[in-house]
Amino acid sequence: MKTAILTLSTLAFLGTTTFAETKPNIPAKEASQIFKAAGFSKTKHGWEGSCDTGEITTYKDFNGDGLKDAVISDYSTMCYGNTGVGYHIVAQQKTGNWKLIFENMGVPTFLKTKGKDGWPDIENGGPGFCFTIYRWNGQKYDVNRYEYNGKACTLND
């Protein structure tokens, strides 16, 4: 029964709008730079990270600075446990280079609330009923609060 609930929870999260977006059309050279910035290597099977083959699931300007940002998702229960999903957020810099700014296990949902420099808060979804919200502090994403359905919670809830 526990396995069925975890499987259904994971499938429900994979069906969220974060993963329901159409696959972005990214020039091959740019995609290559994005994957390399996140530490992925090109193989005959695609771009592989330390867990599995990744795919760019989101490609847009997250913080309104006029530069593109990307989310690379990869899937592995060996690396990511019951959640089965990991993500890597890569931001284009003013120089044109790409930089990894955050990576985590879970399903990222970008919220309307914002941290420094216009970066959206990230709800880190996965199995459970209380999720970590990360906020950009100008240098990195740090834990800001815990929420479930937009309401404060504690990890013990």
Considering the chain, what is the average pLDDT of its residues? Answer: 87
Each residue's pLDDT tens digit, 11-27: 444 444 444 446 788 99
In the predicted structure, residue 2 carries a pLDDT above the cut 50 = no
Does residue 67 carry a pLDDT above 70?
A: yes
Per-residue pLDDT at 22: 62
Query: How many Å is the maximal CA-CA distance in the chain?
Result: 52
Per DSSP, the three-state class of 85 is strand
Most confident of 5-9, 47-51, 112-116: 112-116
What pLDDT digit, counting tens, does each position of 94-139 carry? 999 999 999 999 999 999 999 999 999 999 999 889 999 999 999 9
68-97: pLDDT as tens digits: 999 999 998 888 888 899 999 999 999 999
What lies within 8 Å, CB to CB, of 64 at 6+ separation is: 118
| Residue 45: HSE in the Cβ half-sphere, 13 Å Cα cutoff | 6
Instruction: Give the angle subtended at the CA of 6 by the CAs of 77 and 54, to the nearest 5°.
Output: 30
Q: What are the structural domain ranges in the chain?
A: 2-152
SS3 of residue 94 by DSSP? coil
C-alpha distances in angstroms, 155 versus 10, 94, 100? 19, 38, 28
Structure tokens at 135: 């906020």
